[in-house]
Amino acid sequence: MLRWQPPLDDVAFLLGPWLRAGDDWKRIPRFATLDSDTAEAVLAEAGRFCAEVLAPLNAVGDVQGCRLVDGRVRTPDGFAQAYRRYVADGWPALARDPAWGGQGLPALLELAFTEMQAGANHAWTMYPGLLAGAVACLQAHASPDVQARFLPPLVGGEWLATMCLTEPQAGSDLSLLRTRAVPAADGSVRVTGAKVFISGGSQDLTPNIVHLVLARLPDAPPGTRGISLFVVPDVLEDGSRNGVFVDGLEHKMGLHGSATTALRFEGAVGWRVGEAHRGLPAMFVMMNAARLHAAMQGVAHAARASELAHAYAHQRRQMRAEPRMEPEQPADPIAAHPPIRHLLRCLRGWSEQMRAAGYWLGHLIDLHEHAPDADERRRAGMLVELLTPVAKAHFTECGHLLANRALQAFGGYGYVREYGIEQVVRDSRIAMIYEGSNEIQALDLLQRKLLADDGARLAVFCGECERVAAAAEAAGQSGPAAALRRLRRRLWSAFERVRAAAASDVSAPARVADSFLRATGQVLLAYACVRTVAVAGGSAGADAVERRERASWMLGELRLEFNAQLARLRATL
Amino acid sequence: MLRWQPPLDDVAFLLGPWLRAGDDWKRIPRFATLDSDTAEAVLAEAGRFCAEVLAPLNAVGDVQGCRLVDGRVRTPDGFAQAYRRYVADGWPALARDPAWGGQGLPALLELAFTEMQAGANHAWTMYPGLLAGAVACLQAHASPDVQARFLPPLVGGEWLATMCLTEPQAGSDLSLLRTRAVPAADGSVRVTGAKVFISGGSQDLTPNIVHLVLARLPDAPPGTRGISLFVVPDVLEDGSRNGVFVDGLEHKMGLHGSATTALRFEGAVGWRVGEAHRGLPAMFVMMNAARLHAAMQGVAHAARASELAHAYAHQRRQMRAEPRMEPEQPADPIAAHPPIRHLLRCLRGWSEQMRAAGYWLGHLIDLHEHAPDADERRRAGMLVELLTPVAKAHFTECGHLLANRALQAFGGYGYVREYGIEQVVRDSRIAMIYEGSNEIQALDLLQRKLLADDGARLAVFCGECERVAAAAEAAGQSGPAAALRRLRRRLWSAFERVRAAAASDVSAPARVADSFLRATGQVLLAYACVRTVAVAGGSAGADAVERRERASWMLGELRLEFNAQLARLRATL
């Protein structure tokens, strides 16, 4: 199987000319000492960890899967050692707050690292995947006492965290939650209920697991306004096991190395995080982080599929192409045949531009949290709010569908284990479902991020598109600039049509939400393309010219997809 | 898991008013004694076999998979017993020639049965799946001696057959085949070489397996014109094992219950079938049968996904819909939410119309082979030639993609075994690859079925579209009639554009072949929709009205898809 390699060329291009992240870091006290070279070096090291430690366990984990032994999860061979190395090397603390022992590096770097991990071994990544979100949630909402007890081991990664939302009857609809929390005399609570699809609900990587659990207090009103958040450790301070039991291990289509557990809480000791009945907003801190992680998993799957397909298509020879690519051989590489050539261009183009857009989102998070100027922080925050559901849904869908298309290039070899592509297809499928299904993201985008603020966030994004179009024009790239302007205008018109329809028909947004999200996703990627064209426009270097050509070509593909989504939107409005 | 049920309503509708198959059978001596009621009764019995014998083994087969024990394949528990029942009940002989002990029923019935089998248990179906093709191939091309030896046990299903084309270096490109056949003094040959991806290359269902093997004779010219076809039994007449060895068992994404083997032939005794160096055309008799089977597998997967999703979406309650569907419950069934409602309509609509088109193809095969009028036979043959690659590629792609979309309706439960949908997604994926990948079908359609005869076959199909449009008009359905006419005209114009481009650019067909096939597939389904509308148009019965409404609705969906494919075709031409 083709060795996984970190995308260091893209890292350099994106941190450097594309984002000019170093220029922004200089303006931000927390990052003032960080320059692009150092950041690149950190990510090169992160890439080495993924390539040397995680990637070799990917197929192993898929074949072995997890097992339940005496009620506890046994992870695949090597997973626990890899995690110990991850902790020893200090990776969990990368972007955590120095006040809690973190290294204080940008969220951008962590997101770039997330993509690498998911590309190398998505299943393994599920274990530490919720650490960042759990820490952010506790920092924002927990009492000093709870923070002091749980944050240090979580920041360092000595313990891991889970997110316990879903119950058998309550998936997308959290208002149906039934798990109960009964206050005890000492200020703690006793949690009782059943949670399903809990990633890493049990594992053999860490001595303790911190469960963040949504449950109802006795006086809770019904619905989502009666849900509180609690922290429930697997092991109590005195070393005894808490009342948290593994009821089962799911048999999944993919991610076999990740333990997806059904947990039963039976009078488990816990502590409230944040206000009573206000658990959902607190949990959303964690959810939003998880959504961006899922988006980067989509990027990772597309990128991995692209690499696998490129390697195979250049090595596999079948039939003659016009013109011949290797006349001295009995047949040409399938990469020379038009349908495969087109597929490879799509795989490369989407991976590159989704990665660019993902990095941009990561950088916007840093600007939102740390930019010195309040207006800059506000605008960055609006973009993050708008684009998080877009990236989560669109990138995970593209990641899976592209991997599935890539499989086709392998013929029969795609359907078997050998080249690893079918595992990418299976592993990538879950990202369209978890952390809020893609349909939920689409509703979130249209109702909470667009209709709720009458398009203010979308207007900020359209302004960014105009800015990048102007930059492309200044670099002599008026064609791509005009294409982006046209797309963003048509997106805005579509929003106005939906808004008008919603005024008289309450079900209109739900009918068109999926199409609208995809159309927005295509404009986001068009933005990334044109920004690439603008940045590479001035340069005559071979790498820049190729990037520009790929991005220009992809704009045409995006326009086709955008047209199809808009036609569907009009037909269903 | 939801029990699989045979689609007997559709069987009655399609054999009856849609196809009026009974009217045609009356005109054909071989089928003259068959009426629709008898045919329906046969399929009801076939459906019972699938529901009672095959369906219960579907999940078992997926979980257990096949094993190699002492160099032979052990199939999952129950598979062999089910096969014995299949033989005892006489199913293999259903549509075989009475001259060889067959029951002489229409190919249409066999194709309908094929769909049921694949819906109930695709993996199991792989074992008898090649029987019909092997028998047809031997009947058309083998010497009387070979026929006498191999046909009776194959017609009765006492032995099973494999199709040994692919070699490690030769998949889509059979010109690269290396397996050798050396003539022996007694007129037999000794076959030596390696074949991969051989379904049922070894199994424990039958005491003998008949391998149909493509190989080169010593004096063979290179390329595809130097390939001959041989019949190679697993066990020789004296009871000794032939030189056929299992080199391995593939670990596949799906179809775990089907043994996909790597076979090694080492001086295996065989006999030539058909002329020397003309093995490929002989094998195509078998391939074409296999392609139609694959098409019906696509129908089966879409239909199964549709049933699973309908059942789940009406039972799973999450969130409130507008308007409320079940106000007395804490939440509405997800079937009431617009995106799920749309998905369910798509699943139902595609399954129904693909099934109708598939039955039509089956009936056309019978007309092609048995119609009394030579011109009717010729025209039916042209339609079968044109539409076989379309149905194979388009239906298998739709089957897989629809199953994959259906999975989304299950949320997290879609990603785990419980409801069976993820198995449908995994099992259905192979049909896009095997029996000639969908890309090969697209090239076959455009180059051999359209450009090669300058559109004569397409013109026959367009004539059928006009005929059905006229019937719809006569039934008062002028809207759907006009829609079909417009689609078929635009398809013809697209063909003319491709033909013009191909005259000056040899690579043009390869660039647009996939889009062209999909567009043709959409017109084929539109044809089915409008024929449904025409048939149901006059009736006021609830079933007819609902069928008409579903078909009309689907026409709109098909138009959107058709437009998107034509836009892509124009952009890539």
Contact A175 B253 (CB under 8 A): no
Q: Which helix (H) or strand (E) holds B181?
A: strand B180-183
pLDDT given for residue A472 in this prediction: 96
| Alpha helix positions (H), A182-330 | 279-315
Report the phi/psi class of residue A104: left, alpha or beta, with left for phi > 0 and alpha for psi in -120 to 50: left
Same domain, B123 and B230: no
pLDDT given for residue A290 in this prediction: 87
pLDDT tens digits along B17-54: 999 999 999 999 999 999 999 999 999 999 999 999 99
Per-chain mean pLDDT for chain A: 96
CA distance A461 to A385: 11
CA distance B168 to B174: 11
| From B176, B338, B411, residue closest to A433, measured CB to CB | B411
Distance from CA of B488 to the nearest CA of A (A): 20
Contact B407 A417 (CB under 8 A): no
On whether residue A262 sits in a domain, the answer given is: yes
DSSP sequence for A172-194 = S-GGG---EEEE-TTS-EEEEEE
Tokens of A476: 């002599």
Tokens of B209: 């397996």
pLDDT given for residue A528 in this prediction: 98
| Nearest CA among A549, A484, A552, A496 for reference residue A522 | A484
Instruction: Taking residues A421-442, report their average pLDDT.
Output: 97
Q: Which of residues 249-288 of A touch B (CB under 8 A)?
A: 250-254, 260
Which residue of chain A comes nearest to B249, CA vs CA?
A: A416
pLDDT tens digits along A3-39: 999 999 999 999 999 999 999 999 999 999 999 999 9
| From B176, B429, B567, residue closest to A331, measured CB to CB | B176
pLDDT given for residue B551 in this prediction: 97
Contact A510 B251 (CB under 8 A): no
Chain B residues touching A565 at Cβ < 8 A: none
Q: Which helix (H) or strand (E) holds A73?
A: strand A72-74
- How many CB atoms sit inside 10 A of residue A6's CB? 23
Under 8 Å between Cβ of A564 and B564: yes
pLDDT at A285 over 80: no
β-pairing, A209-215 with A160-164? parallel
- How many CB atoms sit inside 10 A of residue B505's CB? 12
pLDDT given for residue B537 in this prediction: 74
pLDDT given for residue B284 in this prediction: 84
Q: What are the beta bridge partners of residue B191?
A: B181, B268
ipTM of the complex model? 0.97
Chain A residues touching B412 at Cβ < 8 A: 166, 171, 196-197, 433-434
A249 alpha-carbon distance from chain centroid: 24
CA distance B146 to A409: 38
B558 alpha-carbon distance from chain centroid: 21
pLDDT given for residue A287 in this prediction: 83
Burial class from Cβ neighbours inside 10 Å (0-12, 13-18, 19+) for residue B239 reads exposed
| Nearest CA among B194, B352, B359 for reference residue B266 | B194
Q: Which of residues 14-53 of B touch A (CB under 8 A)?
A: none
Which residue of chain B comes nearest to A511, CA vs CA?
A: B338
Contact A411 B172 (CB under 8 A): yes
- Cβ of residue B144 closer than 8 Å to a chain A Cβ: no
Contact B331 A175 (CB under 8 A): yes
Contact A416 B251 (CB under 8 A): yes
Query: Can you tell me whether residue B331 is helix, strand or coil?
Result: coil
Same domain, A451 and A538: yes
Q: Is the sign of the CA dihedral A411, A414, A417, A419 positive or negative?
A: positive
Chain B residues touching A507 at Cβ < 8 A: 321-322, 338
Under 8 Å between Cβ of B93 and B155: yes
Under 8 Å between Cβ of A164 and A177: no
The CA–CA distances, whole Å, from A143 to A227, A234, B378 equal: 18, 19, 82
Chain B residues touching A506 at Cβ < 8 A: 322
On whether residue B401 sits in a domain, the answer given is: no
What's B53's DSSP letter? Answer: I
| From B172, B433, B442, residue closest to A319, measured CB to CB | B172
β-pairing, A180-183 with A189-199? antiparallel
Contact A412 B171 (CB under 8 A): yes
Give me the total of CB pairs closer than 8 Å, taking one residue from chain A and one from chain B: 163
Last-in-domain residue among A110, A138, A166: A138
A395 alpha-carbon distance from chain centroid: 8
On whether residue B31 sits in a domain, the answer given is: yes
pLDDT given for residue B283 in this prediction: 86
| Nearest CA among A124, A117, A128 for reference residue A65 | A124
pLDDT tens digits along A450-486: 999 999 999 999 999 999 999 999 999 999 999 999 9
Please report, to the nearest 10 degrees, the dihedral formed by the alpha carbons of residues B372, B378, B379, B384 taken in order: 110
Q: Which one of A435, A464, A473, A557 is the catalytic residue?
A: A435
- Cβ of residue B556 closer than 8 Å to a chain A Cβ: yes
| Nearest CA among B376, B143, B459, B156 for reference residue B276 | B143
Last-in-domain residue among A138, A155, A190: A138
Place of tokens 């016009």: A322
Q: Which one of B115, B397, B422, B435 is the catalytic residue?
A: B435
Same domain, A208 and A106: no
| Nearest CA among B200, B208, B202 for reference residue B233 | B208
Burial class from Cβ neighbours inside 10 Å (0-12, 13-18, 19+) for residue A453 reads middle
Chain B residues touching A404 at Cβ < 8 A: 404, 429
- How many CB atoms sit inside 10 A of residue A81's CB? 12
Place of tokens 């650019």: B505
CA distance B111 to B392: 13
pLDDT given for residue B290 in this prediction: 87
On whether residue B556 sits in a domain, the answer given is: yes
Same domain, A475 and A451: yes
On whether residue A307 sits in a domain, the answer given is: no
- CATH number of the structural domain spanning residue A244: 2.40.110.20
Chain A residues touching B437 at Cβ < 8 A: 408, 411
pLDDT given for residue A188 in this prediction: 97
Chain B residues touching A421 at Cβ < 8 A: none
The CA–CA distances, whole Å, from A573 to A148, A496, B66, B164 equal: 52, 12, 49, 52
Tokens of A507: 């079900």
pLDDT given for residue B540 in this prediction: 73
Chain B residues touching A571 at Cβ < 8 A: 556, 560
Enter the pTM of the model. 0.97
Same domain, A49 and A122: yes
- Cβ of residue B329 closer than 8 Å to a chain A Cβ: no
On whether residue A409 sits in a domain, the answer given is: no
- CATH number of the structural domain spanning residue B45: 1.10.540.10
Distance from CA of B411 to the nearest CA of A (A): 6
pLDDT tens digits along A239-276: 999 999 999 999 999 999 999 999 999 999 999 999 99
CA distance B167 to B173: 10
Which residue of chain A comes nearest to B319, CA vs CA?
A: A173
Instruction: Taking residues A113-131, report their average pLDDT.
Output: 97
A40 belongs to the catalytic site: no
Same domain, B465 and B527: yes
Query: Can you tell me whether residue B272 is helix, strand or coil?
Result: strand
Q: Which of residues 410-449 of B touch A (CB under 8 A)?
A: 411-417, 422, 425-426, 429-430, 432-434, 437-439, 442
| Nearest CA among A518, A516, A515, A462 for reference residue A485 | A462
pLDDT tens digits along A39-86: 999 999 999 999 999 999 999 999 999 999 999 999 999 999 999 999
On whether residue A347 sits in a domain, the answer given is: no
User: Domain range for residue B460?
Assistant: 438-573
Same domain, A450 and A571: yes
Same domain, B196 and B270: yes
**Measured distance between the N- and C-terminal CA atoms of chain A, rounded to whole angstroms:** 47
Q: Which of residues 194-213 of A touch B (CB under 8 A)?
A: 196-197
Instruction: Please count the structural domains in chain B.
Output: 3
Q: Which helix (H) or strand (E) holds A162?
A: strand A160-164
On whether residue B117 sits in a domain, the answer given is: yes
Tokens of A181: 């929390």
Single-letter amino acid, residue B132? A
Same domain, B118 and B30: yes
β-pairing, B209-215 with B160-164? parallel
Query: Can you tell me whether residue B277 is helix, strand or coil?
Result: coil
Last-in-domain residue among B251, B276, B301: B276
Q: At what angle do helices B338-370 and B279-315 cross, to 10 degrees?
A: 150
Which residue of chain A comes nearest to B420, CA vs CA?
A: A253
pLDDT tens digits along A128-180: 999 999 999 999 999 999 999 999 999 999 999 999 999 999 999 999 999 99
Q: Is the sign of the CA dihedral A326, B514, A484, A388 positive or negative?
A: negative
Same domain, B212 and B255: yes
pLDDT at A348 over 90: yes
The CA–CA distances, whole Å, from A315 to A301, A331, B344 equal: 21, 11, 42
CA distance B465 to B531: 9
pLDDT tens digits along B172-200: 999 999 999 999 999 999 999 999 999 99
Under 8 Å between Cβ of B227 and B299: no
pLDDT given for residue B539 in this prediction: 75
Query: Can you tell me whether residue B538 is helix, strand or coil?
Result: coil
Q: Is the sign of the CA dihedral A22, A24, A30, A33 positive or negative?
A: positive
Same domain, B95 and B26: yes
- Cβ of residue B564 closer than 8 Å to a chain A Cβ: yes
Flag residues of chain B having pLDDT under 70: none
Under 8 Å between Cβ of A297 and A398: no
Instruction: Taking residues A187-204, report their average pLDDT.
Output: 98
Same domain, A526 and A566: yes
pLDDT given for residue B243 in this prediction: 98
- Name, in order, each residue with C-beta under 8 angstroms of B15's C-beta and a sequence gap of 6 or more: B21, B22, B36, B39, B40, B43, B108, B359
pLDDT at A284 over 90: no
Single-letter amino acid, residue A481? A
Contact A511 B408 (CB under 8 A): no
CA distance A253 to A432: 13
Length of chain B: 573
Which residue of chain A comes nearest to B316, CA vs CA?
A: A169
